[in-house]
Amino acid sequence: MNHVCFVPCTDFPLNKKEGKMNLLTSVLQEINLVVWKVLGRFVPHITHIQKLKLNHHQALTLVKCLCQEIGALNLPSNSDYYSNPVVEASTNGAYEVLQEIADTFPQAIWYADKSKHYMIQLAILHRCEKVYNLTYQMSDHKHFHKTLKDNDHNNLLHLAGKLAPQQKLNLVSGAALQMQRELQWFKVTNTSCFS
């Protein structure tokens, strides 16, 4: 049986309105907690989703903490620490991880892998919309993206013209819808290259 424990508050509100808002907020938080517990008992999938969200939040907190610690080392080059995470996050669509890395190490958006694929190129190759949007919006050098080429001399349009990875194609059922999605990728890339 869960017991609710009230701890006496030593911080007195400055006025009655603030005190009522604090009370209302704490009551709403308690109601929210009770609703989630009840839903978790009747719909077990909600508990699973709640655990996934908690793991996601904890992973992002860990990434933020690691970035801060690596940044605090004041090394001449931090790319040894963020190069693999940038590639993995770009290919797997983990835009929040990329955001944290880029916030701490702004030069990370210009990291290229062994095939000379930058973050935006990896996003196009692996059809990661959120990574593409994040990278495109973060960069102050949008015109530079137009001239990027990999080791095989492929520009962004060439990469968009390649077939998406099978796991991305399987997200959409039917060949016509898959073709439509691929065409949308090509159009978005074409617009960003020639605008």
List pLDDT tens digits, range 83-132. 899 999 999 999 999 999 999 988 888 888 888 888 888 988 898 889 98
Q: What confidence category does residue 166 fall into, taking pLDDT thresholds of 50, 70 and 90?
A: confident
Q: Answer with the residue of higher pLDDT: 142 or 61.
A: 61
34-64 pLDDT tens trace: 887 887 788 778 788 888 998 999 999 999 9
Does pTM top 0.75 for this prediction?
no
- pLDDT tens by residue, 151-160: 888 888 888 8
What are the extents of the domains in the chain? 62-193
- Local structure of residue 163 (DSSP, 8 states): P
d(CA 162, CA 153): 14
Within 10 angstroms of residue 80's Cβ, the number of other Cβ atoms is 9
Q: How many CB atoms lie within 10 A of CB 105?
A: 18
User: How many other C-beta atoms lie within 10 A of the C-beta of residue 19?
Assistant: 13
Closest CA to 135 of 143, 147, 123: 123
Six token digits for residue 47 = 């508990």
| Sequence letter at residue 164 | A
The fold of 62-193 is 1.25.40
* Angstrom distances, CA of residue 124 to CA of 10, 85, 134, 169, 186: 54, 17, 12, 14, 9
Residue 186, pLDDT > 90, answer no
Q: Is it the case that residue 28 has pLDDT exceeding 60?
A: yes
